[in-house]
A and B are shown apart, each in its own frame.
Chain A
């Protein structure tokens, strides 16, 4: 079904955009490194592929005159989501070019901003690329060739967006969101549950709440289940013994 396919592709693009933004935030800071630049390159290539795929699919669906009204409304909604995603991606790409130019890596004295972030971003990039581990090639000219590529890609993306605006007639104001305000709270995604435990340092006093934060959710649930099972078995044995002996 066209809709499901579109949604999955859009979700994938959404995921890659979020990861890309996360990586760009780390640019220029102490977690910046050759690896980060490579991750950025890979992520944005993936993003571009997904973008092109999405666009082709959606344009072909929207051009189809035989679809029903509800279908068309749905596709228009997906189209609006897609273009918002592309907007974010474009801005992030432009910004990454700017920051990368300001903070070149292959210089004798690097002046990366000491922001307190020191960990690596490998896992984020792995999530974006949907792989387990990231492989890196030691590219020696990240400062020059990579940035040129980036510029070319930015022009490509801008052109694509221009084409999109011109060719597809979708009125964004006519689209209504499916989610109401506060919809994100109602979901039972893992995001909602385990984020309770995140340290709320940034408020007035640094309070630390060690919840289940950080630990894998699945493991936690299974451990709980196992413990519960054993508790129940023990209780049953005790009761049985009492029954037998009484």
Chain B
């Protein structure tokens, strides 16, 4: 009993598109009028029909698809490589020769298929059959694989032997020519699906696995309409030039350099190194006195301020002084709707409408008429993002108006002054107990930075040259 790869109701594998196309070519070759010219293969006394020369194949491909000979050779090669046509003279050499070497078509059961991958059980049965036929004279790699399979599917090995014997007996019922053909077919199939060592496995697509999105696409008007819509949307998307993008990235890095614990070290000490959690307790959500770095960050962008719980609280206090606190309340309520539970959305939207948007509401927010109309329309069918436009409007209002004034205000400046700069923990006397506060300097930081670091970091005078040793 092998693991059932054809999961019931599971993923339905599709035949790869390239194989379907190759199958079409093969079927086209069978056309009685326009198809391939067939010859007979003559073995000592048996004559087997339906053989063709490599030259014929190339000529046919050239005529049918109106391509150059080189391309036809390449296409024919693919057909041989993937097992739709197999060579008769040198079966192990899967190459199309543009001369008189004979080839033959493979039967549909043995076509390469991603839908029906060759299973270990089948391979074991094939090897057992070959073993019987050749009286044990398998090739080296086949012997190895045989013993490996014997170990792997040992539980069903009796079946393998039984089935191998029966299949041979069944094939004996046919006439000699057909038996020869059958053997050649099977051999060709297994040369492709279980290639000998050293030969490329054509079914292995490697890292660049081809996408097989649209398996069967009918090129009708619907399809083209969808394509046009997709392209239109793609055109409408905002694209930023990489020069601008990288400039922004550079500015961000410069701005945040001093705030990065890895680049600048963290005060009082890095908890991971010194096992002292002071850094975390000092930078908790709500503290009586925030650190200086934190307060500085509020001035970097409005989002920074809003994302920090303490910052938001401070900002709220300021807005209340300015009598425009309803904006922030509204924004918070909208955030709650966006990120909150699905079941409570309707209720929350109702509340927001009652408190902020209804005429004569307690905390009426000032939104322009167009947005207001749109929002009121949307409220009739509330969903998670119904307040987005209004929220965006209020956000930009606060950002452009209240936020700069807040940064200039006394409230902020006092906060900044009050903010603490934690003391660096004292280094112990013994040198080998000292913990390096900084991580080893990055390669990007050259001599210029090193000097700055020395001045900034170690008051007590530890060697910055000394590597981190602990």
Contact = CB atoms under 8 A, between A and B. Distances in A.
A22 B108 contact: no
A17 to B, nearest CB: 7
Contact of B50 (A115, A177, A192): A115
B163 A17 contact: yes
A29 B107 contact: yes
A103 B167 contact: no
Contact of B171 (A17, A22, A158): A22
Contacts of A98: 115
B6 interface: yes
Contacts of A15: 166, 169-170
A244 interface: no
B43 interface: yes
B26 interface: yes
A179 B157 contact: yes
A178 interface: yes
A199 B180 CA distance: 7
A14 B110 contact: no
Given A31-B178, A114-B49, A127 B108 contact: no
Nearest to B2: A87
Interface string A55-97: 0000000000000000000000100110111011011001100
A20 to B, nearest CB: 9
A145 interface: no
Contacts of A172: 1, 155-156
B30 A115 contact: no
Contact of B90 (A17, A190, A192, A204): A204
Nearest to A204: B90
Q: Is the interface of A mostly helix, strand, loop or mixed?
A: helix
B411 interface: no
Interface in A83-127: 83-85, 87-88, 90-91, 94-95, 98-99, 102-103, 109, 111-119, 121, 123-124, 126-127
Contact of B51 (A25, A83, A116, A204): A116
Given A118-B178, A121-B174, A102 B1 contact: no
B128 A119 contact: no
- Interface core residue of A28, A30, A109, A116 (most chain B CB under 10 Å): A116
Interface residues of A, number: 85
A77 B146 contact: no
B452 to A, nearest CB: 66
Contacts of A175: 155-156
B175 A119 contact: yes
Interface in B133-172: 133, 135-136, 146-147, 150, 154-159, 161-172
B43 A11 contact: no
A81 B159 CA distance: 5
A219 interface: no
Interface stretch (B55-63, B182-190, B321-329): B182-190
A105 B157 CA distance: 38
A6 interface: no
Contact of B169 (A18, A109, A115): A18
Interface stretch (A206-214, A224-232, A233-241): A206-214
Contacts of A199: 43, 46, 176, 180
Contacts of B131: 182, 184-185
A87 B116 CA distance: 13
A191 B50 contact: no
A187 B165 CA distance: 10
B319 interface: no
B8 interface: yes
Contact of A183 (B1, B115, B161, B179): B161
Interface in B112-139: 115-116, 119, 121-122, 128, 131-133, 135-136
A177 B109 contact: no
Given A116-B41, A192-B132, A208-B43, A84 B1 contact: yes
A181 B154 CA distance: 9
A185 B132 contact: yes
Contact of B31 (A111, A124, A178): A111
A177 B155 contact: yes
B50 A114 contact: yes
B4 interface: yes
Interface of A: 11, 14-15, 17-19, 21-22, 24-31, 77, 80-81, 83-85, 87-88, 90-91, 94-95, 98-99, 102-103, 109, 111-119, 121, 123-124, 126-128, 158, 161-162, 165, 170, 172-185, 187, 189-192, 194-196, 198-199, 201-204, 206, 208, 213-214
Given A29-B108, A114-B36, A176-B155, 18 more contacts: A14-B162, A18-B169, A26-B107, A80-B156, A84-B159, A114-B105, A115-B106, A115-B185, A116-B181, A172-B1, A181-B157, A184-B128, A192-B132, A194-B172, A196-B135, A201-B183, A201-B184, A208-B44
Interface of B: 1-2, 4, 6, 8, 26-28, 30-32, 36, 38, 41, 43-46, 48-51, 90-91, 104-110, 115-116, 119, 121-122, 128, 131-133, 135-136, 146-147, 150, 154-159, 161-185, 187
Which 6 A-B pairs have CB atoms at the shortest separation, nearest pair first? A18-B166, A28-B108, A177-B157, A123-B173, A114-B50, A175-B155
13 contacts: A21-B167, A21-B170, A26-B107, A80-B155, A84-B1, A99-B109, A116-B105, A117-B178, A175-B155, A184-B131, A187-B165, A191-B132, A199-B46
